Amino acid sequence: MLRAVAHYGRKKNLIFKLTGIDANEFTVNYARERSMGYPEISYVKMDVQEPEFLNLKFDIALATLFLHHFRDDEIEKLLTGMVKNSALGIIVNDLHRCRAAYYLFKLVSLFINNPMVKNDGAVSVLRGFKKQELINSSEQLKGTVSSIRWQWAFRYQWIIKKSWQ
């Protein structure tokens, strides 16, 4: 995702400083390797549930296929902290939990040989979100305005903007 944002910035002559965060060292190293040639992108190994994450300041947080890995209380804490520490807000791209997405994944996974991917993909769809759940979470975020749109491939785009009242 950060490489796509970097491409956009380059195309529009915008200067971005992009930071990817993951708790898994392997994932961080893999992302670094894949992002060679993108000096605007850096990666940090960090657990987002640790206090050091909640002290980071940024303009916009991107949470891509990320939130469904957490419990409701953890999501509320993460989002509250990200709203507080962002200048503008958060963009969430995450899974839509529905039967069609689940069974479509099961069908596609017939062609996947990796048992971990098969299992984790199905579990991820089951842990995705219903629109009303996102609306309920939006209502808990004080000082924000949200929009939620369904996107192709069974995902929701949830934009959380800080309100400037």
Asked if residue 53 is part of any domain, the answer here is yes
- pLDDT tens series, the chain, 165 aa: 999 999 999 999 999 999 999 999 999 999 999 999 999 999 999 999 999 998 999 999 999 999 999 999 999 999 999 999 999 999 999 999 999 999 999 999 999 999 989 999 999 999 999 999 999 999 999 999 999 999 999 999 999 999 974
Asked if residue 119 is part of any domain, the answer here is no
Long-range own/partner contacts, residues 145-151 (CB < 8 A, 24 or more apart): 150/96, 151/93
Give the model's pLDDT for residue 30. 96
Asked if residue 64 is part of any domain, the answer here is yes
The CATH number linked to 57 is: 3.40.50.150
Give the span between the Cα atoms of 124 and 37, in whole angstroms: 31
Domain that holds residue 146: 47-96+130-162
Q: How far are the Cα atoms of 8, 11, 39, 40, 48 from residue 36, in angstroms, in the given order?
A: 17, 18, 7, 10, 24
Asked if residue 118 is part of any domain, the answer here is no
Indicate the number of domains in the chain: 1
Asked if residue 150 is part of any domain, the answer here is yes
Asked if residue 30 is part of any domain, the answer here is no
Q: pTM score, two decimals?
A: 0.92
Give the model's pLDDT for residue 116. 87
Q: Over the Cα atoms of the chain, what is R_g?
A: 17
Per the DSSP assignment, residues forming a β-bridge with 160 are 90, 146
Asked if residue 147 is part of any domain, the answer here is yes
